[in-house]
Amino acid sequence: MSIIVTGAAGFIGSNLVKALNLRGERDIIAVDDLTDGDKCRNLADCDIAHYFDKRDFVQRFADRQLGDVRAVLHQGACSSTVEHDGRLMMDNNYRYSCDLLQACQDQSVPLVYASSAAVYGSGTDFREVRECERALNVYGWSKSLFDQQVRQLLPRARSQIVGVRYFNVYGPREQHKGRMASMVWHCVNQYRERGFVELFGEYGNYPAGGHLRDFVSVQDVVKVNLHWLDHPHTGGIFNVGTGRARSFNDLALATINSLRAAEDRPPLTLETALLEGVLRYCEFPDSLKGKYQVYTCADLTQLREAGYREPMLTLEEGVQRYIGTINR
């Protein structure tokens, strides 16, 4: 039976395909939009059975042309949090997902899909309940609206539906994302190209570099997705983060010191990094004011209660592993 991965050439999708290969899975149908053909490099070391363009896939699947399907891991989306074209965002993230959900339910095929912590907006309560969700942009709202459709369907669902609500994910195979790549990726490039890393200055009662996010390794994100693949009788929407908020200063230092360790150089403290000009700040951009999450921290209560027990990598552990893959 096939496993379908949408967004298969993207960041999380390609990591999922690789992880499935490592489990011996080869009957994988990859779905994506390769208008940006360079994304195919994310799948160059992966084995798949077939590829479909996203525009052809849903109708073929709905018409039962793809044979027996074990599950759909739906990672495909427009993931730009600064995209202003609401029609584009809703077509890609909401309408497309609704059509795929219907096709899965019609055939009793499990669906594990990517939700996002962007649904929480400027809130400080990160529980997977409707009253905590107040998206700040159309990306977050497109994800929130699909989550609401799922909630309505769950009590009468014919097969598993799981929303995996990602917090700030970083890790290998994100090089194609450009501006939307993780801050770890940007810090690596800045440090190598300029010799220093630049973060946002103070904003929203947070000091320079002090905005807090829950940074989670793609390695843990993949493990959570595969957990639901292995437990097809559990449904719901679940946060995936570390359960700990860390500052961008922490992230920058973890990145800088991992790069320095690879050069056999001693680690820097925050104070030393600032004094040596290795860490600097820029003015917070006006274009992001009122649209920027200054704080996120995953509440993992529901995830743990649903049976996922694996510990999450710390920021330092995850960044060190990531830098190791970049340096190879």
* pLDDT digits 0-9 by tens, 120-159: 999 999 999 999 999 999 999 999 999 999 999 999 999 9
pLDDT interval class at 291 (50, 70, 90): confident
| pLDDT at residue number 301 | 98
Which of 18, 51, 177, 295 is catalytic? The answer is 177
Residue numbers in the known binding site are: 11-12, 32-33, 39, 54, 75-79, 92, 143, 168-169, 177, 179, 186, 200-203, 213, 292
Other beta carbons within 10 angstroms of residue 18's beta carbon come to 17
Q: Which of 40-49, 58-67, 79-88, 287-296 comes out lowest in average pLDDT?
A: 79-88
Which of 139, 166, 191, 322 is catalytic? The answer is 139
Residue 16 has pLDDT above 90, yes or no: yes
Q: Is 223 an annotated catalytic residue?
A: no
| pLDDT at residue number 79 | 75
Domain boundaries, the chain: 2-169+215-241+300-308
Residue numbers in the known binding site for substrate are: 168, 179, 186, 200-203, 213, 292
Residue numbers in the known binding site for NADP(+) are: 11-12, 32-33, 39, 54, 75-79, 92, 143, 169, 177
Residues 6+ apart with CB under 8 A from 249: 199, 209, 210, 270, 279
Q: Write down the architecture of domain 2-169+215-241+300-308 according to CATH.
A: 3-Layer(aba) Sandwich (3.40)
d(CA 234, CA 232): 6
In contact, 301 and 125? CB cutoff 8 Å: no
| pLDDT at residue number 210 | 98
Q: What is the mean pLDDT of the chain?
A: 96
- DSSP-based three-state secondary structure for 219: helix
| pLDDT at residue number 150 | 98
- The mean per-residue pLDDT over the stretch 90-117 comes to 97
d(CA 280, CA 274): 7
| pLDDT at residue number 85 | 86
pLDDT interval class at 83 (50, 70, 90): confident
| pLDDT at residue number 80 | 72
- The mean per-residue pLDDT over the stretch 20-39 comes to 96
Return the half-sphere exposure (C-beta side, CA atoms, 13 A cut-off) of residue 126.
28
The dihedral through the CA atoms of 309, 225, 245, 291 has a sign that is: negative
What pairs with residue 198 in β-bridges? 280
- Mapping DSSP onto H, E and C, the string for 234-252 reads CCEEEEECCCCCEEHHHHH
pTM of the model: 0.96
Question: What percentage of the chain reaches a pLDDT higher than 70?
Answer: 99
Residue 54 has pLDDT above 80, yes or no: yes
Residue 82 has pLDDT above 90, yes or no: no
Q: 113: which 2 tokens?
A: 């899909």
150, amino acid identity: V
| pLDDT at residue number 84 | 77
Q: Is 289 an annotated catalytic residue?
A: no
